[in-house]
Chains A and B, each alone.
Chain A
């Protein structure tokens, strides 16, 4: 395809005017939808991978409940073998004693009455050891708005989520004031930013109080069972054997699988797999609109060929070969695809950027990302769609008999 074929094809498209524009719209919609979904999908993948990187690949998660289909029966069996499927300090100490394990970080969650300026409200509470949970904090889990974060020996200190601080009570909670949690006085050391984010877009913490593990135990007693436990191994290589040991430990203690033990890599794999499936599904739906767009190209090109029958006859009479006519019309169709692809890409990416910005302001770590290979793929694909749809009309044009074409009125 040379520059002149391109220039002639471009002028022919401009001459067709409205027909070209309408055809373009069909392609633009399809490509824009695909580009938007791909860029959001890539952005989500990137954000999740980033969080897991910060969390460390040497992490194991322990959550209550088995992943196997027999979860409910497993639970009742567990109740029979031990009073309940809760983790005790002894379990955590046992896990910490494994040679591969560096640290065990339990996360507690509770809901309790909170008193501030003579007003009492029920609020959710999250607690962990701030020193041990450093890598968790590095994921951007908590961002301080005003005041400071925890330091090593903090006990009766509390961080307050943005919504709770501003709207939870009649009087706004400010740093350096104090609140009462389950009858104990806690000093507010800071408030959190909106948009603080949990792993993989988890629960919104802007309505939550955050305590240190020590403070939590002072308020609610030391026999509380953690909601969720993070286990850090010394290095990534020992993560898998540590997971197996923990699994065996739970089997011995509880008889059946009442806890799910997953490595961060497994979680990442599962999350990206699900995400990949969802985006594939969505892109598939978007592709349907592209099929309609490509039928539009075919329709427009068939009409172009019919309208320009005499012109094709003339070109053939003055020496144009069949392949020249074919390439001229194929170039036109490819150009529709390419121009539609470029505009669609810009529109689709802008739309997903807008969604990402809206999402960020609503507190989600959402980004729209399109890497160069994907951009090239989309442009190449849209051109390819144009050529595929234009092939049949172009072939018809190239095979026209010059005399028939010339004499047709």
Chain B
């Protein structure tokens, strides 16, 4: 892809929350360009706005002012339904608390985003099996989330994020609820997704050792980009 068109672009974004009579400015005039195969960590103290930034980048949250572009396309005027479809195709989500659907098996959880994209069921199952194989859980396909360990659950979540073959994986504290060895496995998975499958990975964390897996660390402070560090 043309290196000049960013995959995701945040343009002059403000985000203001109103909490009753008080208004809180969570993001101030943020400009950010994310290109294909970027590996980015967002760090900052709690309340700095790092999760808000991730939500805005991933188009889950509409900014108060400014625009977010997906592959050069403005999302400002898009309706919720259209945005949901595009987001579902472009971005895979990984959460701190895994957020698997408890009634569905691992395989069904991974198939879910494909269902939302209206992909036929046989194809869905085939893709879901591939993705579970990729994260090393081919022997756990028919287990429900409560029959899996934390690390296994997070790997199912990553397989789910990969199911629609998105260009971007967005992860909010993906190792926050895991012991260090499970956490390391997850991070290795992210590393290989970025290096071998050329996925763009954006990760929020408050641990420096985790953040250092990325090529670029963005430091957020009081809703502003404080500094950007290049690694590797």
Which A residues have a C-beta under 8 Å from some C-beta of B?
Answer: 4, 8, 11-12, 14-15, 310-311, 313-324, 402-403, 406-407
| Pair B89/A319 contact, Cβ less than 8 Å | yes
**Cβ contact within 8 Å between A321 and B60:** no
Task: Encode B27-65 as 1/0 by CB contact (under 8 A) with A.
Answer: 000000000000000000000000100010010110000
Please report the C-alpha to C-alpha distance between residue A4 and residue B97 in the assembled complex, in whole angstroms: 26
Q: Which of B100-137 contact A (CB under 8 A)?
A: 101-104, 112-113, 115-117, 121
List of A residues within 8 angstroms of B102 by Cβ: 15
The answer to whether B116 and A12 have CB atoms under 8 Å apart is no
Cross-chain contact B85 with A319 (CB below 8 angstroms): yes
Residues of chain B from 75 to 100 with CB closer than 8 A to chain A in the complex: 80-81, 84-85, 87-89, 92-93, 95, 97, 99
Are A321 and B116 in touch, CB under 8 angstroms? yes
Instruction: Give min CB distance, A258 to chain B, whole Å.
Output: 76
Report how far A4 CA is from B111 CA in the complex, Å. Answer: 12
Indicate which residue in B51, B87, B116 contacts A324 across the interface (CB closer than 8 Å).
B116
Which chain A residues lie closer than 8 Å to B99 at the CB level?
A: 310-311, 313-314, 406
Instruction: Report the bound CA distance from A403 to B80 in whole Å.
Output: 13
CB distance from A35 to the nearest CB of B (A): 31
Question: A315 — which chain B residues lie within 8 A by C-beta?
Answer: 101, 112, 116
A-B contact pairs, 23 of them (CB 8 A): A12-B103, A310-B99, A314-B99, A314-B101, A315-B116, A317-B58, A317-B87, A318-B92, A318-B112, A318-B113, A318-B161, A319-B88, A319-B113, A319-B117, A320-B84, A320-B88, A321-B84, A322-B81, A322-B84, A323-B81, A324-B116, A406-B60, A406-B99
The answer to whether A318 touches B160, judged by C-beta atoms less than 8 angstroms apart, is yes
Shortest distance between the CB of A333 and any CB in chain B (Å): 17
Contacts A4-B121, A318-B113, A318-B160; A406 near B95 (Cβ below 8 A): yes
| CB atoms of B103 and A11 under 8 A apart | yes
Given contacts A319-B84, A319-B116, 4 further A-B contacts (CB under 8 A): A4-B121, A11-B103, A310-B99, A318-B160
With both chains docked as a complex, state the minimum distance between the C-beta of A397 and any C-beta of chain B, in angstroms. Answer: 14
In the bound complex, how far is the Cα of B112 from the Cα of A313, in angstroms? 14
Is B10 in the interface zone, CB < 8 Å from A? no
Complex interface: chain A residues within 8 A of B51 (CB): 407
B149 to chain A, nearest CB (A): 20
Cβ-defined partner of A15 (8 Å) among B84, B87, B103: B103
Asked if A403 and B55 make an inter-chain contact with CB atoms under 8 angstroms apart, the answer reads yes
Say if the beta carbon of B164 comes within 8 Å of chain A: yes
Report the separation of the CA atoms of residues A402 and B102 in the bound assembly, to the nearest whole angstrom: 18
Tell me, rounded to whole Å, the shortest Cβ–Cβ distance linking A329 to chain B: 14
Given known contacts A402-B60, A403-B60, A403-B61, is B87 in contact with A319 (CB within 8 Å)?
yes
Contact for A321 among B61, B85, B93, CB less than 8 A: B85
Residue of B nearest to A12 (CB): B103
Shortest Cβ gap from B164 to chain A (Å): 7
Q: Decide: B55 and A319 in contact? CB cutoff 8 A.
A: no
Cβ B101 vs Cβ A4 within 8 A: no
The answer to whether B116 touches A318 (Cβ under 8 A) is yes
**Assembled-state Cα–Cα distance A8/B115 (Å):** 12
Q: Residue on B with the closest CB to A323? A: B81
CA of A12 to CA of B164, assembled, Å? 24
Bound together, the chains give a CA A321 to CA B116 distance in angstroms of 8
| Residue numbers in A under 8 Å from B58 (CB-CB) | 317
**A234-B81 Cα distance, complex, nearest whole Å:** 74
Query: In the complex the two chains form, is B80's CB within 8 Å of A314's CB?
Result: no
For residue B118, give the distance in angstroms from its CB to the closest CB of chain A.
Answer: 10
For the complex, what is the distance from the CA of A317 to the CA of B161, rounded to whole Å? 10
A residues in contact with B104, CB < 8 Å? 8, 11
**9 closest residue pairs by CB, A with B:** A319-B88, A319-B116, A318-B113, A11-B103, A314-B99, A321-B84, A321-B81, A403-B61, A320-B116
Chain B residue with the shortest CB-CB distance to A14: B103
Residues in B with CB closer than 8 Å to A316 are: 60, 84
When the two chains form their complex, are residues A322 and B115 in contact, meaning their CB atoms are under 8 A apart? Answer: no
B129 to chain A, nearest CB (A): 17
Residues of the A chain whose Cβ atoms lie less than 8 Å from the Cβ of B95 = 314, 406
Most A Cβ at <10 Å: residue of B95, B113, B115:
B115
Give the distance in Å from the alpha carbon of A287 to the alpha carbon of B97 in the complex: 45
Residues of A within 8 A of B116 (CB): 315, 318-321, 324
Count chain B CB atoms within 10 A of each CB in A15, A318, A323, A324 and give the residue with the most: A318
Q: How far is the CA of A94 from the CA of B55 in the complex (A)?
A: 99
- The answer on a CB contact under 8 Å between B81 and A317 is no
